[in-house]
Amino acid sequence: MTHTPNTGAPPTLPAIPPQQPSPTALGSTTPAPASPPAPPAPPTPRRTAFAEGVDQLRHAATTEPGRLRIIGAVLAALVVAFGAVTAWQMTDRAAAADAVLTSSQPLTSDAADIYRSLADANTAASSGFLAGGQESAATRDRYERDIATAAAKLVNAAANAAPDSPSTETITELNRLLPEYKGLVERARTYNRQGYPVGGAYLRYANEKMQQEMLPAAQDLYTKENERLRADYADATPYPWIAIALGLATLAALAWMQRRTYLRTNRVLNHGLVTATTATTIVLLWLTAGHTLARSHLDDSYDHGVRSLAVLHDARIASLKARGNENLTLVARGAETVKAGDKTLDAYDHDFTRDIDTLAKGLAHAQRLADDDTGEKPVTAAVGNMTEWKKRHAAAREQDENGNYQQALDMVIGAKGATGECFDAVDKNLATALKHEEAEFATAAGDGRDALTGLPTGAAVLAVLGATGAVLGIGRRLSEYR
Amino acid sequence: MNPRSRRGTTKPKGAITLHARHLRARLKGWGGVGAMAAACALAVVFALAVTCTGSVASQAADPHRAGDRTTQAHTADAPRAADDCEAPEKQTLSPSRADGPTITAIKNRPGEKRKLIVGVDQNSYRWGYRDPNSGESGRLEGFDIDLVHRIAEDILGDPDAVQFKAIPTDQRIPAIQDGRVDLVVRTMTINCSRLKDVAFSAPYFKTGQQVLAPKSSPITGYDETLANRKVCTAKGSTAYAKLEEDRGSGDLPASTDISTTVPNQLDCLVRLQLGEVDAVVNDGALAASQAAQDPTVELKGEAFTTEYYGVAMKKDADDLVRRVNQILVDFRQDTATGWQASYTKWLSATMDDDPSASRPPAAPEYLRRS
């Protein structure tokens, strides 16, 4: 219901005594009340503070000193308002820019690392099983390192997520699943050492937990952190239109006042007003230039940092998935099949083909996004590794199709000339590229944030200075009337 | 007089409007409250209705709750697998060495591909499994694998001319039907329903379903101690079919939860160790191989079925069936490297030292004519 002015419900108007029906009820600022026809003249109705204020102003405006006082007050208010709005809008943007640099981007990277570590740990564990005998020290180290990384990044993510946020829920879930997963893998190892195939069954169970519960949760976390990063960017980059408009209005008012003074007194400069104008101009220029600069750096950090990082992260994850499926093809040994058209294909090998295609697309995209040699070199190298990987994979598959399982195994997890070498090389090159892009991001986003340094405080101080100037300048004129 | 009262007296319409407005304002206040109360009441009623009908529906769907021991009546409509076939283990072709189209096709495979493609298990301890400590990582071994090597040697002249495919329990029949494998040697029970889809060799092993549970468990065997217990079976196994049938007929307590099925029988041991199920029902031969991997579990009670393992092949691969039956004749008779030697090597440690309970019929019958 929209609130219509009180047309006749006395209790809702406590400010006005009931025995004195208000003329404001009929039209608030009409000064002359309708004269009642009854003979006893009623007391003049009490008027609202606003109406009285308007009257006073009208009265004051009839004399020049009065006008000057009003103008002085308005100018000072404008300058102070401009400073305050600038400080407020830029504090928000500076905080968002700082969040991009120091919290949401690192957390997005952390979430990607959590996913990567978990997937890599799982691949390392299944490679260990593939090796049949006891896993090598290198595989074991890799697994342990991945688990340690995931655990550390989870703690960090938990510390930075707001309580009750959906991220916190996901992190809690992952924190619950990680020891569970690790327990299953440890049991698998123990049984494997004893030579019992139930070890393999534990590993399958662990793999299932990883694929069906943990990796989707990690993916979810990554998505959420990415959303947060985008939201921070969206908070940091829009133009502070209100502040700019207010600044222009203030400048216009100051110019008008100075012209008025000049026309009336023939004096060109009023020191106070000049100070106010200068301060306002400085704030407006600083605001526009600082924000434009910050915005350009932030956009740059997004285009050349965040986007490259996302593409590289995705490519790295695709390569991990491909490796995992390559291993599982041999672990499952034809257990799972899919129908593609009229052909029956191995399900894991089918997934491998899909993952390696994703990797190829990701790498091509990353090459397009790379904007300098240092960034492009590792990506180009990774493309080379991937091509070799596909070649070796095809050879290994042929051996497996021909029933030479042991040879196929050697070509996938063997020491020399195996596809494992190619995967490791792809991973290493992508890690290098990620590091480079992360540095680029940090530089650009850091520059963006720094462009806003001191702007809120500076605007506030200058606004106070400008307002003082306006008041003093008008005061100087006023004193001439005393 | 003030303007309002004048308006009130001279214009009764205004007064009515005023009163109406008052009333409306009041109603608005109470109307909101009333509507909210009505909505709450409605929500409560709806929630109650849903829970009630929900529990009724689930009771109807859940035979455990619907009445524990009243399921005897179901016997009549329980699925009967053995409807039109008796002694499924005898429904096979007589042995012969003659090559036919199937064997010729296998022998004519070119180059590296000249191998027998066999579906096996890699998770059945001492039947078909990978010993992580054998030094050779990809090598499968066990009782079933011995038989595979023997078949390959007989048909292709090389015991290692085999391409092993590991297949989950419920994929054994589709794998044969799709031609992904030539034969399946994977602790596969010969039964009537499977005979409709594939052809079997003569039996090469005798076993029966048994219950596996922790030593400390109060479960004593395939009986009423399974009431309110969770039992794990492999998906597509004869064990599951038997449990389903018996629960329908009342031979198994209706409160036994048989919903846990896994791709491979060994996964049941994992679930048992993790406490997710209370018992495993499996062929005695496989249950023994599970018990061999965990000293805290044991077989409970006697075998409650009699089953025979056979080699499964495509339904129309008559020459291969006959050939495998011939190989099995030799396998049984060969005491040096045949059935007895494989039993001693792989199974005597996990099963009985005396193989007589597991030995297939010495003179199998070959009743299948076409």
The Cα of A184 is separated from the nearest Cα of chain B by a number of Å equal to: 10
Question: pLDDT band at B4, cuts 50/70/90?
Answer: very low
Distance from C-alpha of A205 to C-alpha of A201, rounded to nearest angstrom? 6
pLDDT digits (tens, 9 = 90+) for A272-286: 999 999 999 999 999
Closest partner residue to A334 (CB to CB) among B134, B135, B165 is B165
Residues A64-100, buried b or exposed e (16+ Cβ, 10 A)? Answer: eebebbebbeebbebbbbbbbbbbbbbbebbbbbbbb
Amino acid residing at B109 = R
pLDDT digits (tens, 9 = 90+) for B254-292: 999 999 998 889 999 999 999 999 999 999 999 999 999
> Regarding predicted confidence, which is higher, A16 or B316?
B316
Assign A403 to helix, strand or coil.
coil
Amino acid residing at B219 = I
- Percentage above 90 pLDDT, chain B: 61
Distance from C-alpha of A411 to C-alpha of A396, rounded to nearest angstrom? 6
User: Which residues contact residue B315 at a Cβ distance below 8 angstroms, ignoring those fewer than 6 apart?
Assistant: B197, B198, B199
Distance from C-alpha of B316 to C-alpha of B322, rounded to nearest angstrom? 11
- Cα separation values, B338 from A68, B29, B150, Å: 119, 94, 9
Q: Report which DSSP code applies to B166.
A: E
> By CB neighbour count within 10 A (0-12 exposed, 13-18 middle, 19+ buried), where does B54 fall?
exposed
- pLDDT over threshold 60, residue A199: yes
- Cα separation values, B324 from A10, A88, B98, B172, Å: 106, 87, 11, 18
Residues B311, B185: contact at Cβ < 8 Å? yes
Q: Which CATH architecture has domain A98-227?
A: Up-down Bundle (1.20)
pLDDT given at position A330: 85
Q: Does domain A296-469 have CATH number 1.20.120?
A: yes
pLDDT given at position A160: 84
* Span B229-240, average pLDDT: 93
Interface contact flag, B112 A402, Cβ < 8 Å? yes
Amino acid residing at A327 = N
Do B88-206+308-357 and B209-305 come out as alike in CATH topology? yes
Give A337's contacts in chain B (Cβ within 8 Å). 171, 180
pLDDT given at position A431: 95
Distance from C-alpha of A420 to C-alpha of A409, rounded to nearest angstrom? 11
Residues of chain A in Cβ contact (below 8 Å) with chain B: 1, 8-9, 19, 21, 34, 36, 38, 130-134, 187, 191-202, 204-205, 332-337, 344, 401-406, 409
Question: pLDDT band at A52, cuts 50/70/90?
Answer: confident
Alpha helices per DSSP H over chain B: 3-10, 12-61, 63-66, 101-107, 143-156, 172-177, 192-195, 238-249, 265-273, 284-291, 318-333, 339-342
* Span A442-464, average pLDDT: 92
pLDDT given at position B21: 54
Residues A118, A210: contact at Cβ < 8 Å? yes
Structure token digits, residue A252:
């216009």
pLDDT given at position A1: 43
Question: pLDDT band at A482, cuts 50/70/90?
Answer: low
Question: Where exactly are the structural domains of chain A?
Answer: 98-227, 296-469
Give B138's contacts in chain A (Cβ within 8 Å). 132, 405-406, 409
Question: Where exactly are the structural domains of chain B?
Answer: 88-206+308-357, 209-305
Residues A105, A441: contact at Cβ < 8 Å? yes
CATH level 3 topology of B209-305? D-Maltodextrin-Binding Protein; domain 2 (3.40.190)
**What is the β-pairing status of strands B297-300 and B209-214?**
antiparallel
A–B CB contacts, 8 A cutoff, strictly below: 114
- Kindly report which listed range (A179-188, A234-243, B7-16, B26-35) carries the lowest average pLDDT score: B7-16
Interface contact flag, A333 B123, Cβ < 8 Å? no
Interface contact flag, A132 B267, Cβ < 8 Å? no
Give A195's contacts in chain B (Cβ within 8 Å). 131-133
CATH level 3 topology of B88-206+308-357? D-Maltodextrin-Binding Protein; domain 2 (3.40.190)
Interface contact flag, B3 A192, Cβ < 8 Å? no
Closest partner residue to A131 (CB to CB) among B137, B165, B171 is B137
- pLDDT over threshold 50, residue A25: no
Question: pLDDT band at B318, cuts 50/70/90?
Answer: very high
The Cα of A343 is separated from the nearest Cα of chain B by a number of Å equal to: 10
User: Which residues contact residue B328 at a Cβ distance below 8 angstroms, ignoring those fewer than 6 apart?
Assistant: B95, B201, B202, B204, B311, B364
**A13, A404, A405: best to mutate for the B interface, most B CBs within 10 A:** A405
Q: Where are the beta strands (DSSP E) in A202-340?
A: 337-340
Distance from C-alpha of B44 to C-alpha of B50, rounded to nearest angstrom? 10
Closest partner residue to B137 (CB to CB) among A133, A187, A334 is A133
Number of CB atoms found within 10 A of residue B177's CB: 12
- pLDDT over threshold 80, residue B14: no
pLDDT given at position A328: 82
Interface contact flag, B178 A344, Cβ < 8 Å? yes
In the block, which residue shows the tokens 């590794």?
Answer: A385
Distance from C-alpha of B225 to C-alpha of B217, rounded to nearest angstrom? 10
pLDDT digits (tens, 9 = 90+) for A312-343: 999 999 999 999 889 888 877 777 778 777 77
Question: pLDDT band at A204, cuts 50/70/90?
Answer: confident
Interface contact flag, A402 B178, Cβ < 8 Å? no
Long-range contacts made by residues A109-113, C-beta under 8 angstroms, separation at least 24?
A: A109/A309, A109/A313, A109/A438, A110/A153, A110/A156, A110/A157, A110/A225, A111/A153, A111/A157, A111/A218, A111/A221, A111/A222, A111/A224, A111/A225, A111/A226, A112/A222, A112/A309, A112/A313, A112/A316, A112/A317, A113/A149, A113/A150, A113/A153
pLDDT digits (tens, 9 = 90+) for A86-144: 999 999 999 999 999 988 999 999 999 999 999 999 988 887 777 666 677 888 899 99
Closest partner residue to A132 (CB to CB) among B4, B124, B130 is B130
